[in-house]
Amino acid sequence: MWQRNGDVLVTDLDDELVLMHAGRSEMFSLNSTGRLLWQALPATEETLTALLATTFELPGGQAQADVRAVLNDLSVRHLIRAV
């Protein structure tokens, strides 16, 4: 299960979602894929993969690879964490 870091502030700018880690003074921008996954949290990797595959009509393997890449990117930046 993955969940958002409570120290992250979120601003919705229509076509992108901007995240700011308050404790680290860093900002990040999410595209439509990242936005979809962020808004679905908390969730398991399997749930996020199914959501991505359905929303963007992706093959399961591609959706899983994309989800893992986004989760890894957000995790190393301390924006989300596994629980």
Q: What is the pLDDT of residues 33-64, one digit of tens each?
A: 999 999 999 999 999 999 999 999 999 999 99
User: Long-range contacts: 18-22, Cβ < 8 Å, 24+?
Assistant: 19/79, 21/77, 21/78, 21/79
Q: What is the pLDDT of residue 25?
A: 84
Q: What is the pLDDT of residue 56?
A: 96
The whole model's pTM is what?
0.91
Q: What is the pLDDT of residue 38?
A: 96
Share of the chain above pLDDT 90, in %: 86
**Residue 21 structure tokens:** 């880690």
Q: How many Cα atoms sit within 13 Å of 41 on the Cβ side?
A: 21
Fold type of domain 2-82:
Arc Repressor Mutant, subunit A (1.10.10)
Q: What is the pLDDT of residue 30?
A: 94
Domain residue extents for the chain: 2-82
As a whole number, the mean pLDDT across the chain is 94
